Amino acid sequence: MWSRAVDRIRPRTALRWLLPAAWPVRLTFGAAAATTLLVAALTTQPAIGLAVVIVITHDVFGLWASFAIHELGHAVVLGTAPGVSAITLERTSLRLSVTPHGSILGRDAFLAAVLGPLCCVAIGLLLWALAPQSFLHIWYLVHGVFLTPLFSDGRTMLRAAAAWRARIPLPGSDSGPEKTV
């Protein structure tokens, strides 16, 4: 697991956090794509090559980029929220997470939880309008489900909305409950 506590998000740290995200997926797709491209070249079948390029495009610009933008949306808001003394950026082989420390106003916690998925939904709507034939918008629009209480973002939104003007203690403070958004 990669983990780094920072007082605010800097581009270099963000790249070190996000670029290797879900690397086993990239590795699997990469190996399968390289093999298939080789077969396409050897058998001179450009249609197979084109299909591989489409799959790689969806993996990188759809799956990876949408989750990177989602987590960056959380991290940027948390990193600038008054009372948040630091944020811990974490990456396991398949998962990204942000944990704020210090304390946060309910309003800011709500904003941090909503902005991750909402950035993706906004980009999805834009892609849908500009390039519907790419089908890349689906990866981004799907992030809308994270706004429901079935997922931790949706549950954080509900808790934060109920404590809109209150200051919520976070991990790293003396009495803070565990809380990851």
* Structural tokens at position 157: 């939104």
Nearest to Zn ion of 27, 150 (CB atom)? 150
Task: In angstroms, give the least distance from the CB of 82 to Zn ion.
Answer: 21
Stretch that binds Zn ion, among 31-39, 86-94, 114-122, 123-131 (CB under 5 A): 114-122
Q: Which two three-digit tokens encode residue 118?
A: 């909402």
Q: Cβ of residue 33: shortest distance to Zn ion, in angstroms?
A: 28
Nearest to 65 by CA among 124, 113, 110, 146: 124
Q: Binding Zn ion by CB under 5 A: which of 141, 153, 160, 168?
A: 153
Name which of 177, 175, 168 is nearest 78 in CA terms. Answer: 168
As beta bridge partners, residue 171 has: 173
Q: Whole-number minimum distance, CB 161 to Zn ion, in Å? A: 16
Number of shown-chain residues binding Zn ion (CB under 5 A):
2
Contact at 8 Å (CB) between 176 and 103? yes
Q: Which of 68, 116, 120, 141 is the binder for Zn ion (CB under 5 A)?
A: 116
Q: Could you tell me which of 30, 35, 32, 40 has the C-alpha nearest to residue 64?
A: 30
**Chain position carrying tokens 């190996």:** 31
Q: Which is nearer to Zn ion, 90 or 153 (CB)?
A: 153
Closer to Zn ion by Cβ: residue 116 or 124 = 116
Q: Which is nearer to Zn ion, 88 or 134 (CB)?
A: 88
- Residue 52 CB, shortest distance to Zn ion, in Å, is 30
Q: Does 73 bind Zn ion (CB under 5 A)?
A: no
Stretch that binds Zn ion, among 86-94, 136-144, 146-154, 166-174 (CB under 5 A): 146-154
Q: Where are the beta strands (DSSP E) in the chain?
A: 2-6, 84-91, 96-105, 167-169
Residue 160's CB is within 10 A of a number of other CB atoms, namely 24
In degrees rounded to 5, what are phi and psi of residue 104?
-150, 145
Nearer to Zn ion, 52 or 69 (CB): 69
Give the footprint of Zn ion on this chain (CB under 5 A): 116, 153
